[in-house]
């Protein structure tokens, strides 16, 4: 078993709190020393109370799914003797009502663009790598969101 931690810090400072007009901007700190500015999404809480330049939980969720998938893809490609020169995913998450009528991230579409050294392997191999990556991804295994991979 492994444990993972994040230090999430928000401070009111001299802001009025009772009227709801306070900044949702906060910090995420991780064990390796990385610090990320975070906020509610401007789609959820309007600016200036959300910080549009910061990462919001919904974006982080999409990025975590994409990153996890990519890391397994790279590992599996390397094990099969393939050399990946570049991997870019313009992933998109869809927030909509789920079957219970609650807002949820119901779908995440991964759209990886991959460049291989020496040319592209046969499409079936790439599709198989994506399938196996999805099956192994810890984050995808942890959520009920539908995760699909396009463009392979």
CA distances from 70 to 16, 27, 60, 114, 139 (A): 43, 25, 15, 10, 12
pTM over 0.95: no
- Token representation of residue 30: 């991780």
25-68 confidence digits (pLDDT tens): 999 999 999 999 999 999 999 999 999 999 999 999 999 999 99
94-152 confidence digits (pLDDT tens): 999 999 999 999 999 999 999 999 999 988 999 999 999 999 999 999 999 989 999 86
- Token representation of residue 106: 């119901």
- Decide if 103 contacts 95 (C-beta within 8 A): yes
Which residues on neighbouring strands pair with residue 113, listed in sequence order?
88
Counting Cα atoms < 13 Å in the Cβ hemisphere of 18 gives: 0
Percent of the chain exceeding pLDDT 90 equals 93
Residue 123 is given by DSSP the state H
The SS3 of residue 136 is: helix
68-80 confidence digits (pLDDT tens): 999 999 999 999 9
Give the residue among 87, 89, 88, 103 at the shortest CA–CA distance from 145.
103
- Decide if 120 contacts 126 (C-beta within 8 A): yes
- Token representation of residue 9: 């810090």
Mean pLDDT of the chain: 95
């Amino acid at each position: 078993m492994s444990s993972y931690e994040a230090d999430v810090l928000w401070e009111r400072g001299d802001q009025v709190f009772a009227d709801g007009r306070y900044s949702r901007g906060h910090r995420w700190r991780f064990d390796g020393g990385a610090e990320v500015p975070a906020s509610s999404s401007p789609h959820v809480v309007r600016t200036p109370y959300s910080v549009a330049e910061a990462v919001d939980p919904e974006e982080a969720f999409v990025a975590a799914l994409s990153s996890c998938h990519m890391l397994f893809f790279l590992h599996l490609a390397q094990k099969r003797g393939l050399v990946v020169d570049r991997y870019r995913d313009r992933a998109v998450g869809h927030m909509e009502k789920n079957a219970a009528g609650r807002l949820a991230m119901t779908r995440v579409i991964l759209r990886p663009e991959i460049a291989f050294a020496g040319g592209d392997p046969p499409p079936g191999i790439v599709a198989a790598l994506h399938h196996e990556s999805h099956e192994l991804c810890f984050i995808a295994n942890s959520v009920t969101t539908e995760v699909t991979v396009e463009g392979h």
